[in-house]
Amino acid sequence: MGKTLLQKVWDLHTVRTLPTGQTQLFIGLHLVHEVTSPQAFDVLRARGWKVARPDRTFATVDHIVPTRERTRPFVDILAEGMIASLERNCRDFGVRLAGLDDDRQGIVHVIGPELGLTQPAMTIACGDSHTSTHGAFGAVAFGIGTSQVRDVLASQCLAMEPMKVRRIRVSGALPPGVYAKDVILTIINRLGVGGGVGYAYEYAGDTLERMSMDERMTICNMSIEGGARVGYINPDDTTFAYIRGRPFAPPGDSFEAARRWWRSMASDPDARYDDDVVIRAEELTPVVTWGVNPGQSVSVTGRVPVDGDSGMDRQALADARGYMGFTGGETIAGMRVDVAFIGSCTNSRLSDLREAARIVRGRHVAPHVKALVVPGSASVKNAAEREGLDDVFRAAGFEWRGAGCSMCLGMNPDKLEGRQVCASSSNRNFKGRQGSPTGRTLLMSPAMVAAAAIAGEVTDVRDFVQEKVGGGG
Amino acid sequence: MEAQRITRIEGSALPMRGNDIDTDRIMPARYLRSVTFEGLEQHLFEDERKGSAAGDKAVHTHPFDDPRYRGATILIVNGNFGCGSSREHAPQGLHRSGVRAVVGESFSEIFFGNSLMIGLPCITAPPERIRELMDLVEKQPNARLRIDLQAGTCESNGFACSIALPPHARQALVSGTWDTTGLLLERYEEVDAVAARLPYVGGF
């Protein structure tokens, strides 16, 4: 009987079984940011501990950084305090830091892969639930809380429980205007926001195999929105080609040895899965969320659910519709938007920005819409500027910002106001998520956000895509 | 590090109805802008409690503002509680407000783990038992619940049900080993041995 990648990685990283019955798991890469680490460093200081493996630890600033005015000290003294705290902690404990002015700075889940820190068959932990992103490389990567950040800092290990594996096979060609974001939103809608609890999701199938690393990261990123703490894709030539030559990639001849090992760690053809799900890519359409969790979504051609629609918890339906201002039965297309946000660890990479720019080129944002693009990293920003994408966005009426998490969670000055409706390429439409206690979020692909910004309302991006390139792409 | 042994939790309860209650709702992100966890208990469910604490008649009284549940130490919830963000600030806020156990249909894994790390048990019971428990507490807010982690029982005023906790969590709580750092630092030569066999650590 073969093994899954998860089992192989788990076995290889197991130190021992703890008296509690949990597995002591070695963590190959610990990514650190300013928001979930200060209390952990304080415990290390109080207990006289060191960071066990500074060579396996890397920090950056992303959650609270302003994306417009970045001179220090920040106007927000709380944000300034947090950044200063991380800088001091990294200095005191010898942790590498890509700080605010570093050209490697950016969202932790964007820079890990960019720098080649993220590699197949690693265990990766970070005090952020979207750590599942790194699973796109065939790493076993998961989010942790601050007490577990403390454990990893002090010991480079975690006390963990094993996971089951659900394989989700996506097959067929994605129609034009349908993206990786639509695939993962569809999966979450079908399996539910709690459907993945206890599971790691292994994404497979020819659709996934044809996807770029950027697209695979979008898929794995939102595993946690389906309740799965881990989501991964077996490493292949696309993965290896992405990693080769990056700053922390295995150098020179060692790359070939690494490649052979990585390939050997992929799931065996006869591996056993605890569950299997199949999704047909040809049937997919652009997806928009209408509710207050990422599973509450419909096709852009669909309507907000009405009472009695199958599979809906009546109370949850009423609550979500009430918050969003729907009565039920409205078409989601035509919903007026006030803000358009392209960014976040889900969709802020170069290919996302290229696709959105393709939609907005030669057009203009609707007069009532505030639109902004927040690249995922300084490196993405620079690359986009070299291609002139910033000019395309500015000419269309978008603001072009510095790298960070920004309006995905509104911990910096980028927030919704009042009951504003935001077309967002981010990952969560929870109540109050984007910084206003009554703000409303509609999740969709970056191309759909671009189209919504132009139209001033939710609209089907397939109309734009066909118009521009005659049905290609 | 010596942690407290947690075997029994007794107290009145507070029902918080609804599935998929996410950690953004439990603790809005703006309160994560601090280098400590102090004072988080003041901001639990803050966005949905606006007007509720002041007794605004137009606003539904939030369970956390309902005087009948004042002093409750056991929170009763439905399914997938604590989903979303990994922020430990959510269980920290609950624990600092006096919550000593959460009983529900199911929990997000990250929330469950974060809670265990601070000695806050997240205990499950079947949906029909949770419904009965919520009904009971709403009818008799002063009812005292007695949870025995070792025996796996929850009882109160003629109500009794069995509760579930994964064996590792039960063991960690009842033996006082839920603060894991000390355990992970024991026998460190074994950790070094694992690191040494990983090609990406030692070099390909």
A164-234+265-283 and A287-469 in the same fold: no
What's the pLDDT score for residue B2? 60
What's the pLDDT score for residue A469? 45
Which residues in chain B touch residue A26, judged by CB atoms under 8 angstroms apart? 191, 194-195, 198
CATH of domain A287-469: 3.30.499.10
Task: Show me where the domains of chain A are located.
Answer: 5-160, 164-234+265-283, 287-469
Nearest to A20 among B30, B109, B168 (CB): B168
Nearest to B35 among A38, A56, A313 (CB): A38
Nearest to A193 among B83, B188, B195 (CB): B83
What's the pLDDT score for residue A388? 98
Nearest to B19 among A36, A127, A316 (CB): A316
* Higher per-residue confidence, A314 vs B153: B153
Name the percent of chain B lying above pLDDT 70: 95
CB B177 within 8 A of CB A152: no
Best CATH choice for the domain A5-160 from the list 1.20.210.10, 2.30.31.10, 3.40.50.300, 3.30.499.10? 3.30.499.10
What's the pLDDT score for residue A384? 98
d(CA A30, CA A455): 42
Q: A157 and B191 in contact by Cβ < 8 A? A: yes
Q: B33 and A79 in contact by Cβ < 8 A? A: yes
Q: B198 and A12 in contact by Cβ < 8 A? A: yes
Q: Per-residue pLDDT averaged across B181-200, rounded?
A: 96
pLDDT by 10-residue block (mean), chain A, 473 residues: 96 96 97 98 97 98 95 94 97 98 97 98 98 98 98 98 97 97 98 97 98 98 98 98 98 97 98 98 98 98 91 88 97 98 98 98 98 98 98 98 97 96 98 96 98 98 72 36
> Which residues are A289's β-sheet partners?
A297
CATH 3.20.140.10 applies to domain A164-234+265-283: no
Nearest to B171 among A21, A79, A148 (CB): A21
Residue A155 distance to chain B (closest CA, Å): 6
Under DSSP, the state recorded for B94 is H
Residue A250 distance to chain B (closest CA, Å): 7
Which residues in chain A touch residue B80, judged by CB atoms under 8 angstroms apart? 193-194, 197, 227
Q: Per-residue pLDDT averaged across B142-146, rounded?
A: 97
Task: Show me where the domains of chain B are located.
Answer: 8-177
Query: What ranges in A199-253 are assigned the alpha helix state H?
Result: 206-210, 213-221, 237-243
Q: B80 and A227 in contact by Cβ < 8 A? A: yes
Measuring CA to CA, how many Å separate A3 from each of A9, A25, A207? 10, 18, 23
- Tens digits of per-residue pLDDT, B29-74? 999 999 999 999 999 999 999 866 666 666 778 999 999 999 999 9
Closest C-alpha to B25, from B60, B66, B64, B53: B64
Predicted ipTM beyond 0.90: yes
Which of A 315-344 lie inside 8 A of B, CB atoms?
315-316, 319
Which residues in chain A touch residue B91, judged by CB atoms under 8 angstroms apart? 145
| Distance from chain centroid for Cα A262 | 23
What's the pLDDT score for residue A473? 34
The helices-and-strands tally (H runs, E runs) of chain B is 8, 7
CB A441 within 8 A of CB A339: no
Q: A145 and B171 in contact by Cβ < 8 A? A: no
What's the pLDDT score for residue A465? 83
Superfamily of domain B8-177: Aconitase, domain 4 (3.20.19.10)
Q: A14 and B118 in contact by Cβ < 8 A? A: no
Q: What phi, psi does B130 have (nearest 5°)?
A: -65, -40
